[in-house]
A and B are shown apart, each in its own frame.
Chain A
Amino acid sequence: MEKSIPMDAKKTQICRIFAASLRPFFQRLQCDMEKMQEIRLRVNSPLMVVYDHKETFVTWDGLLKKDADKAVIVSSSQIRETMEYISDYSLYAYEDEIRQGFITIQGGHRVGIAGKIVLEDGKIKNIKYISFINIRLSHQIQGCADPVMPLIKDGGTVYHTLIISPPRCGKTTLLRDIIRQISQSPDGINVGVVDERSEIAACYMGIPQNDVGIRTDVLDCCPKADGMMMLIRSMSPQVVAVDEVGSRKDLEAIEYVINCGCKLIATVHGSSVDDLRSRPVLRRLVEERLFERYVVLGDLSRAGCIGAVFDAFGCNLLRS
Chain B
Amino acid sequence: MPLDVICFALKIGGALCVLTGCWGMGFFVCRGMSRRLGALRELQRLTLAMAGEIRCMSETLPVILEGMAQRSGPVYRDFFESVSRSLKKGHGQSLASVWNAQADVCFIGGPLNPGDVRLVKRLGEMLGSHDVQMQLSVLDLFASDLEKRIAGLGETIDSQKKVYGGLWVIGGIFVVILFI
Query: Footprint of B on A, CB under 8 Å?
Result: 16, 19-20, 23, 81, 84-85, 87-93, 95, 98, 125-126, 128, 205
Residue on B with the closest CB to A91?
A: B130
Interface range on chain B (Cβ under 8 Å from partner): 20 to 34
In the complex, the answer to whether B134 meets A89 with C-beta atoms within 8 Å is: no
Given the interface pairs A89-B87, A93-B58, the reply to whether A126 lies near B130 with Cβ below 8 Å is yes
Chain A residues whose C-beta falls within 8 Å of the C-beta of B128 in the assembled complex:
84, 87, 89-92
B interface, by DSSP: helix, strand, loop or mixed?
loop
Find residues 109-139 in chain B having any chain A CB closer than 8 Å to their own CB. Answer: 127-132, 134-135
Q: Among A89, A93, A98, which residue has its beta carbon within 8 angstroms of that of B95?
A: A89
A44 to chain B, nearest CB (A): 21
Residue from B58, B92, B127, B129 with most neighbouring chain A CB atoms (10 Å): B92
B93 to chain A, nearest CB (A): 8
Question: How far apart are the CA atoms of A125 and B132 in the complex, in Å?
Answer: 12
Query: Footprint of A on B, CB under 8 Å?
Result: 54, 58-63, 87, 90-95, 127-132, 134-135
Q: Among B58, B63, B87, B94, which residue has its beta carbon within 8 angstroms of that of A92?
A: B58
Question: How far apart are the CA atoms of A29 and B82 in the complex, in Å?
Answer: 32
Question: How far apart are the CA atoms of A93 and B132 in the complex, in Å?
Answer: 7
Question: How far apart are the CA atoms of A20 and B98 in the complex, in Å?
Answer: 14
In the complex, the answer to whether A128 meets B130 with C-beta atoms within 8 Å is: yes
Chain A residues whose C-beta falls within 8 Å of the C-beta of B130 in the assembled complex:
91-92, 95, 98, 126, 128
B68 to chain A, nearest CB (A): 14
Q: Among B54, B60, B132, which residue has its beta carbon within 8 angstroms of that of A89?
A: B60
In the complex, the answer to whether B62 meets A93 with C-beta atoms within 8 Å is: no
Q: A16-B90, A90-B62, A205-B63 are in contact. List 7 more A-B contacts (CB 8 A).
A: A87-B128, A88-B60, A89-B62, A90-B61, A92-B54, A93-B54, A93-B59
In the complex, the answer to whether B62 meets A92 with C-beta atoms within 8 Å is: no
